[in-house]
């Protein structure tokens, strides 16, 4: 099993912050491979990072240590934590950034990082990513037992789930993310194809976890005043420049324009409502 740390931060790449963290990881655990998930989470946007982590984690090898530093409360009383869940370990501030991934994973064990012998000797109050989180993640990636990081925790901080309400055949969700292509990714999922015209919707963020059947041709999607009829399979199923709705690569309902920018076309932002009428099945 390779030693892997996957990094997710809001540090951007203009400054030296990510480089300094990687320097610390490399000198602490030289055999560890570091993989960047992204460093361009919007500054201090914990929820965006939580959704990114949810969509990324399952593609990494078992044993991966996820090091997430989106940390508006650095230096305050918010705890630094390490959590094991499923085959993964997560090192992060206790601000809810792990909420969505952990909801997806079996039983967890959480610890507060209270063992300063693992940290850099001089610990700043403004950059725990480098001084606390990076060395702890490095030791964990090299095989150190989780309980060495500090004191066990009964519970950790949890974000409220994204908006997702199912009433009859209408599901109301919200825009969670707009990607680099302008694709609009919603909180409505998981959508899975069963047959050429048949899907199920498994509302993992909602109260109900009972899968809802969806007939692709009868589905109706509404954002603001725009309506889209039917679910496509691929961007290329609609003519170039045309709006379409599909099950995105993370399983959530996604609105796109084939070879265009859906968010610019519709002038929407993260947090806007999306209504999805699922049709019969």
What is the contact surface with a copy of itself in residues (CB under 8 A)?
A: 2, 4, 6, 8, 11-24, 26-27, 30, 33, 35-40, 43-44, 52, 55-56, 59-62, 64, 72-76, 124-127, 130-131, 177, 179-181, 233-237, 246-249, 254, 256, 259
Contact 137, 65 (CB under 8 A): yes
Residue closer to a copy of itself by CB (options 126, 208) is 126
Q: Which two tokens stand for residue 209?
A: 């976890």
The smaller minimum CB distance to a copy of itself, of residues 172 and 190, is found at 190
Q: Distance between CA atoms of 58 and 85, rounded to whole angstroms? A: 12
Angle formed by the axes of helices 17-28 and 134-141, nearest 10°: 40
Q: Of 231 and 274, which has the nearer Cβ to a copy of itself?
A: 231
Kindly state the smallest distance separating residue 235's Cβ from a copy of itself, in Å. 6
* Token pair listed for 72: 């508006």
Nearest to 203 by CA among 215, 191, 195, 194: 191
Q: How far is the CB of 254 from a copy of itself (least distance, A)?
A: 8
CB of 144 to a copy of itself, least distance (A): 18
Q: Report the residue number, 37 or 140, with the smaller CB distance to a copy of itself.
A: 37
Q: Kindly state the smallest distance separating residue 121's Cβ from a copy of itself, in Å.
A: 12
Least Å distance, CB 147 to a copy of itself, is: 26
Closest to a copy of itself by CB, 166 vs 243, is: 243
| Phi and psi, residue 192, nearest 5° | -135, 135
| Continuous segment of H or E residues that includes residue 213 | strand 212-215
198-201 and 212-215 strand pairing: antiparallel
* Shortest separation between residue 188's beta carbon and a copy of itself, angstroms: 16
Closest to a copy of itself by CB, 28 vs 163, is 28
**Range list of β-strands (E), the chain:** 4-9, 33-38, 65-69, 80-85, 88-93, 108-113, 150-153, 164-167, 170-178, 184-186, 191-195, 198-201, 212-215, 220-223, 226-229, 243-247, 253-257, 273-277
């Amino acid at each position: 099993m390779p030693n892997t740390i996957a990094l997710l931060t809001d540090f951007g790449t203009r400054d030296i912050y990510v480089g300094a963290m990687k320097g610390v990881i490399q000198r602490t655990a030289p055999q560890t491979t570091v993989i960047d998930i992204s460093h361009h989470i919007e500054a201090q946007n914990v929820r965006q990072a939580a959704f990114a982590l949810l969509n990324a984690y399952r593609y990494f090898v078992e044993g991966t240590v996820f090091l997430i530093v989106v940390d508006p409360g650095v230096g305050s009383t918010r705890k630094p934590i390490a959590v094991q869940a499923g085959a993964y370990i997560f090192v992060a501030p206790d601000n809810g950034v792990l909420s969505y991934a952990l909801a997806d994973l079996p039983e967890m064990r959480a610890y507060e990082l209270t063992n300063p012998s693992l940290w850099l000797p001089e610990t700043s109050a403004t950059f725990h990513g480098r001084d606390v989180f990076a060395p702890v993640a490095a030791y964990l990636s090299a095989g150190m037992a989780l309980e060495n990081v500090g004191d066990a925790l009964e519970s950790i901080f949890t974000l409220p789930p994204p908006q997702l309400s199912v009433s009859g055949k209408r599901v109301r969700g919200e825009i969670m993310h707009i990607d680099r292509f302008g694709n609009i990714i919603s909180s409505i999922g998981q959508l899975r194809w069963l047959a050429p015209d048949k899907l199920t919707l498994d509302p993992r963020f909602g109260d109900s976890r009972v899968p809802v059947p969806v007939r692709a041709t009868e589905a109706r999607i509404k954002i603001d005043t725009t309506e889209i009829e039917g679910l496509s399979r691929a961007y290329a199923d609609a003519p170039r420049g045309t709006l379409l709705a599909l099950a995105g690569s993370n399983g959530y309902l996604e609105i796109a324009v084939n070879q265009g920018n859906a968010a610019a076309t519709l002038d929407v932002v993260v947090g806007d409502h999306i209504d999805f009428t699922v049709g019969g099945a």
